[in-house]
Amino acid sequence: MAPEPPTKTSGILIIDKPLGVSSMRAVEMVRRGMGGLRTGHAGTLDPLATGVLIIAVGSATRSINMLMDLEKKYETTIDLSATTPTLDSESERVEIARTTPPPNMQIIEHALKQFIGSYPQVPPSFSAKQIKGRRAYDIARSGEHVLLAPRMVKVHELTMLSFAWPIVRLAIRCDKGFYVRSLAHDLGVALGGDGYCTAIRRTAIGPYTIDRAIELKQEALPNPYQLLALPLAAAR
């Protein structure tokens, strides 16, 4: 007979969040698999983004703020020939009429340099930022105009992985608070057009990388035996 699960459990799970699942939905699935233990996540991923989501369980939830402060790594695919209201594939694509020839790889590499280091970034209108107690995405979905103030973000590395017009793939290493979707728009504007993300994948939060993540499936929920014995001190 298998031993009973421990009655007191705490620690973290490194989840590979699937496409179409919200971060809060992932937390609910883990909480159910863990028998209702206190559970929270350390950094939201959009439903249409995939990859590393740290979920803290039990007393480890007290370390969520510390985990959220860690650097993040992303890989994203950007379409520079169009945009969408949400700056990803969730909403309807709007073609961009260009007045200049499409940029080549050298022009894009030059444009990327302005997004390395600290700079003010405007969050997407469809984001979880709060405006007078309301989520920006709720205001935007109601048809109201949303104008968010820019906030300072920091990018440590920004590398082009591939390019074939109009698709560019980038790798990003940044601090918390950075919006990959805003980068797609800002890069597109810098190149004389616009852009949106067709894919976003978070590959790491601090030392917690995608190769250490477990797949989250509805039919096979996590349980206390899958709670990774990763020391929280490793994140400091």
Catalytic residues: 46
The rounded distance, in Å, linking the Cα atoms of 81 and 59 is 47
State how beta strands 49-57 and 196-205 pair.
parallel
Strand ranges, E, within the chain = 11-17, 39-41, 49-57, 72-79, 82-83, 94-95, 117-121, 130-131, 134-135, 151-164, 167-174, 196-205, 208-209, 214-215
The rounded distance, in Å, linking the Cα atoms of 213 and 226 is 11
Q: Which amino acid is at 189?
A: V
Contact 48, 87 (CB under 8 A): no
Residue 57, beta-bridge partner list: 11, 39
Q: Which amino acid is at 184?
A: A
User: Minimal CA–CA distance to 93: which of 104, 108, 83?
Assistant: 83
Contact 50, 8 (CB under 8 A): no
Buried b or exposed e, range 206-234, using 16+ CB within 10 angstroms: bebebeebeebeeeeebebeebeebebee
